[in-house]
Amino acid sequence: MKLLNSLSIVLFCFFIVKLTVATESNNNEEIKIKKVALISPEQQKDGGNVLGVEHAIYEILHQDLSSVGGIFLMETLQTEKFKNEQDYVSWGLTHYSDFVIYLVPSVFEEISTLEFNIIDVFLAKKIGTAKMQLGKESNVSKNYQQLFKEILSKLTDNFSLPITVDMGINEFVDLQAFSKALSLAKNEESKSASKILSDLCDKKVMLACNQLGLEMQKDKRNDDAKRFFDMACKGGLLLGCNNEGVLEYYANNKEVAKELFKKGCTDGLLGGCDNWGLLENKNGNIDLAKKLFKQACDGGFVRGCDNLGNLLEDHGNASGAYPYFQQGCQLGHLSSCDNLGEAEEQLGNKKRARELYQNNCTLGFAKSCNNLGLLEEGSGDTKQAETFYRQACLGKFVGGCNNVGAILNANKKTVEAKKYFKESCDAAHMGGCYNLGVVLAGEKKIDEAQRLYRQACEANYSRGCNNLGSLEHKAGNVALAYDLFKKACEGENGDGCYNQGILEKEKEKFKNAHELFQRACTLRHLDGCNNFATFEYYAGNEQFARDIFKRSCDAGSMLACDNLGLLETQSGNSQLALELFKKGCAGGNMGACDNWGRFEEQASRPEEARRYYTKACEGSFMGGCDSMGNLEEKSGQKESAKKYYLLACQGKHANGCNNIGALLESEGELKQSLEYYNKACELKLIIACYNLALAEAKDGNNERAQYYFKYSCQEGIEKACAYQDPPN
């Protein structure tokens, strides 16, 4: 659960007003009660902002009530669905995730008085009333204008709302045109919409200036957008200040953005407080960010609750975050409900988490569909998981697309998997780019894989850096590979730390390698733990090494099981050692199979030994090939022995090269034996260098023999030191 990684453009939110009116016309004839839904907002999925107006209200504002024909209802809301006020409130709870107040009227018999109950939808309680004397004039438009102003004023007086509304009467006159412009914009008739908005903005209707800025921003005309937001801001519309601040932020004018957010927040725009908090959090001013998020949250701007919860959790205070996620969720904020689900999951309450995710997913919050998929996959139901991942993907949560691809790829449906990885990658989800690269690398399309890994790495997706490093290493670009592994490691990627450690070890920078393997182990890289334990063992910390080997073995590192088996063998715990070798071999570690074979050979069960040596050799563990060669040579099967020694030597196993050299020398093939002794010596097997010296002396190459005797002596072969001159 992270803070929103982008600041929020705040869109103008009209309140929904449902009127039931009884009044008099100019001829004292009673007008029948009419129900009017004035404004229709839409709910954005990601943060609870409201998109705008769909219904014109011109007739209501400017004509005699007797001329208002029919019932004006927004398309998405049919009052017949609501049997009572509580149902209406419940609908608001279900469909809105930001702070919304409905004005629901009570009908009085007095035809000249209109009284509104002001109801907090989310607390489901009456919190105030507003009354308006309609009078007996035939044209009541001015009264209605005044009524709206009084209602808005009462709301502002009683609540810290997400927005501050200060409309003049002239702006009401232009609401029909404004509504029409929004409808045109929604239908992608942007040119016509912009013309209307421009005319309204010229008439100083600040809402229109702000909306024109939003239209420009959609067309990526940010300079023009900023100009109109600035006009709205200077004209007193705080939304304009906030939106201008967002553009300044992304133009890297952080201080300018801060002042604009600060202005909005100071003057009562809670979305400005929230955005200011996001900026301060990015700047590391955590205490101020907490204060601003709390101010937004306490004022009813629920994204502030969500961000405060995220901030607390990111700084290790999960218990402190929980009530804010809970508060946001109770107020209908879908992101808060999702975060609450994740918190419940971490507490082990998977049933409650599932309920929260399911409700969110049903309401169209795609990330929760993805989280449902993760729950199902974690319980082993990949089919159901795929269904939820697909739902998340359709809802434009691109992590869901990536997860669909992963399941398809695991089921060998590579062609379809690549489509989902690409969709995810094209939407800038670096996991998708990385996974597509993995598939293409498996298809030997190295250039394409390299491009995708580079794309991921440049976006600081550390797994991409590691895999790009591996490709560069295979291509012989060791220095570049090192830098990429280093970047991956700095990005908390265990593979990167491990691979960087391997390169340091190859350069014999053992202290660096030791530290890198330790870091890899901390990042739960099991082979890194194995290598770290190996260093600790040779540093004399046997018990510590044993503990690491055991934890790694228990966690699934078969290499660690093999090494722990070797330690148990040295300690005389042969039965425990055998169990560890069996576990390692069954888990795919061929070194453990080789050690199991050696155990069987020592127990005089050569056929069993042959079985496990062969398995190790066929599994590309060259020590197994060498062990098989030894067994065959002891059995008198010299040709078979040579075959296995040769396989080991070709796999750069020094003992295999040395052993085939010795076997050839015993058969009188001195020239050939020199070749294999030399290979073994080049692979740093010092006893092979000594054998090479003896063979060179036997072949009459005294100068070369003397060189290898000296080298062997310096490297610790004491018997080589006795040869001041090559023997006859």
Phi-psi region of 716 (alpha: psi -120 to 50; beta: other; left: phi over 0): left
**Model confidence at 189: pLDDT above 70:** yes
Helix (H) or strand (E) holding 114: strand 113-120
pLDDT in tens, 64-79: 222 222 222 222 233 3
Q: How far is CA 157 from CA 128, 149, 163, 233, in A?
A: 11, 12, 13, 22
133-147, 236-250, 583-597: which has the highest mean pLDDT? Answer: 583-597
Does residue 333 contact residue 123 with C-beta atoms inside 8 Å?
A: no
Q: How far is CA 257 from CA 209, 242, 272, 278, 501, in A?
A: 19, 8, 10, 11, 44
pLDDT in tens, 368-409: 999 999 999 999 999 999 999 999 999 999 999 999 999 999
Q: What is the mean pLDDT of residues 452-477?
A: 96
pLDDT score recorded for residue 51? 22
Structure token pair of residue 537: 């063992």
**Model confidence at 276: pLDDT above 60:** yes
pLDDT score recorded for residue 481? 96
Q: How confident is the model at residue 725 (pLDDT cuts 50, 70, 90)?
A: low
Q: Residue 400: which residues within 8 A CB-CB, separation 6 or more?
A: 366, 369, 370, 373, 388, 389, 390, 391, 392, 393
- SS3 per residue for 511-531: HHHHHHHHHHHHCCCHHHHHH
What is the rounded CA–CA span in Å between residue 150 and residue 36?
18
Phi, psi of 30 (to 5 degrees): -70, 135
> Which segment of 176-185, 586-595, 640-649, 676-685 scores lowest on mean pLDDT?
176-185
Count each helix (H run) and each strand (E run) in the chain, helices first: 39, 5
Q: Residue 285: which residues within 8 A CB-CB, separation 6 or more?
A: none
Q: How confident is the model at residue 196 (pLDDT cuts 50, 70, 90)?
A: confident
**Model confidence at 238: pLDDT above 90:** no
What is the rounded CA–CA span in Å between residue 615 and residue 190?
70
Q: What is the mean pLDDT of residues 265-285?
A: 89
What is the rounded CA–CA span in Å between residue 574 and residue 565?
8
**Model confidence at 699: pLDDT above 70:** yes
pLDDT score recorded for residue 170? 40
What is the rounded CA–CA span in Å between residue 724 and residue 728?
12
**Largest CA-CA distance found in the chain, in angstroms, rounded:** 139
> Which segment of 38-42, 341-345, 417-421, 722-726 scores lowest on mean pLDDT?
38-42
Structure token pair of residue 12: 């103008």
pLDDT in tens, 609-642: 999 999 999 999 999 999 999 999 999 999 999 9
> Which segment of 163-167, 217-221, 527-531, 536-540 scores lowest on mean pLDDT?
163-167
What is the rounded CA–CA span in Å between residue 206 and residue 212?
10
For 635-682, where are the alpha helices, taking DSSP H only?
Answer: 638-650, 654-666, 670-682
Pairing of strands 34-37, 101-106: unpaired
pLDDT score recorded for residue 281? 93
Q: What is the mean pLDDT of residues 684-713?
A: 94
Over the chain, what is the mean pLDDT? 78
3-class DSSP state for residue 101? strand
Q: How far is CA 2 from CA 249, 311, 343, 570, 659, in A?
A: 19, 8, 12, 50, 59
Does residue 593 contact residue 612 with C-beta atoms inside 8 Å?
A: yes
Does residue 105 contact residue 114 with C-beta atoms inside 8 Å?
A: yes
**Model confidence at 46: pLDDT above 70:** no
Instruction: Count the Cβ atoms, other than its own, within 10 Å of residue 604.
Output: 8
Does residue 24 contact residue 333 with C-beta atoms inside 8 Å?
A: no
Does residue 690 contact residue 719 with C-beta atoms inside 8 Å?
A: yes
What is the rounded CA–CA span in Å between residue 11 and residue 207?
10
Structure token pair of residue 515: 């530290």
> Which segment of 107-111, 400-404, 479-483, 573-577 scores lowest on mean pLDDT?
107-111
Domain coordinates in residue numbering, the chain: 18-159, 167-236
Of residues 84 and 205, more confidence is placed in 205
pLDDT score recorded for residue 269? 81
Give the Cα-Cα-Cα angle 471, 476, 481 (nearest 5 degrees): 55
Phi, psi of 257 (to 5 degrees): -60, -45
Helix (H) or strand (E) holding 119: strand 113-120
pLDDT score recorded for residue 174? 52
Does residue 690 contact residue 717 with C-beta atoms inside 8 Å?
A: yes
pLDDT score recorded for residue 331? 80
Does residue 179 contact residue 194 with C-beta atoms inside 8 Å?
A: no
Q: How far is CA 19 from CA 33, 102, 142, 390, 638, in A?
A: 9, 11, 16, 43, 102
> Which segment of 178-187, 330-339, 523-532 scores lowest on mean pLDDT?
178-187
pLDDT in tens, 149-188: 444 444 444 433 332 333 333 444 355 566 667 667 666 7
**Model confidence at 525: pLDDT above 80:** yes
What is the rounded CA–CA span in Å between residue 453 and residue 446?
10
Q: What is the mean pLDDT of residues 675-683?
A: 96
Of residues 411 and 159, more confidence is placed in 411
